Structure 1
């Protein structure tokens, strides 16, 4: 089993069982398995954690994984402190921040392992009742996360939600403060769809646009902030399973 193979999650591709790609042998040979360790994407971590439990139960395999964020995972692989890394984007060369190019010193392969949806999880109430049917156009989303729309009763949001009396409440955009493939995906989408609104291009490191923006580390961090009582008025971008586990709604994005 070649455990120096790097696993990179590419969101547009589907693979039935990711860890099976490492090479599964019958359960009776479990004593011959060598534990492997990986790090990286928190976007993918819910799926990875379930798979790790499955292979431990069914095959006696130990797979350790530390959700540190995609950028940290790629760096760990370059430094050869892990056997595999998970990232939404490939190694950067050149890098977006002008740091040294991400060039692994060992052989590696990219392997798609997870497909999912990045959703807009939010915490909003009207008259004390939680809103569960928020609708947002792509243009409005880009304007919220570029700081051009700052209140929930902005005319553009009200136009997307004619059946709701949107509250006069500040919007708190919650972003990934760590180097994140989720940020890279989200900013790439905004830059391709609305280049005149989001002008910063693809960014693994999401910029703090204004003081109203709140940075949190990891998918659990951003989802956790939004789901708290102090997170009322907040919205974030995160893999859909985190919103499901938190019991919070996601915006219906108008195509």
Structure 2
């Protein structure tokens, strides 16, 4: 494996690209010291589903929900543990966000409203929200409309602009946006939280030997004092190797919603 493709696309705010690039450069140095060919720069793929299936993928980060369809293509390397509110080690939640002027005291008050959804294959924006709504829905549509926005920031803008009543926002994304785009998040309040799930995993198309080298390189950058400011800006605390079946929680949440008669967020 040449290791020609690497990306870190999941929390790729433009405001944080210098820090993401610095993290990658440190990883690349550690990998080369271990004999792994690592590209100088990260890729910026437009079609992530195809990117994650490339046989020469050295390292990337995916959402836990798409991961369920990737087992024959990739191995999970590790899961970043973030310091954002809503995270517990390598597990995270989504914040149920409404406009600060919305008087709703609970989700039931939002029945018949409009939901902003970042992407139908998002664990944080769809699957965790579906699992939260399913016990309330009674097997029927809960929202008047579900609007696909294309991203968490756009979902927040929809709630802030009054075109949506609710969005489920990945807690790491929310914390990063609060730090870097306070004007976007200022009109919001957190109504509640979804169930927890394993966070967004780092993956590779490589073999078990490469997985170990990647884990060793991640341990190096997690402990490097010279990268403390970079890790702090990216909210990265450390990298955790979860049990092999950890991500089955995501599939179970999907199954539970189906059993409750709520297979589609609606």
TM-score (norm 2): 0.45
Q: Which has the higher contact order (CA 8 A, sep 6+)?
A: 2
TM-score (norm 1): 0.47
Rg larger in structure = 1
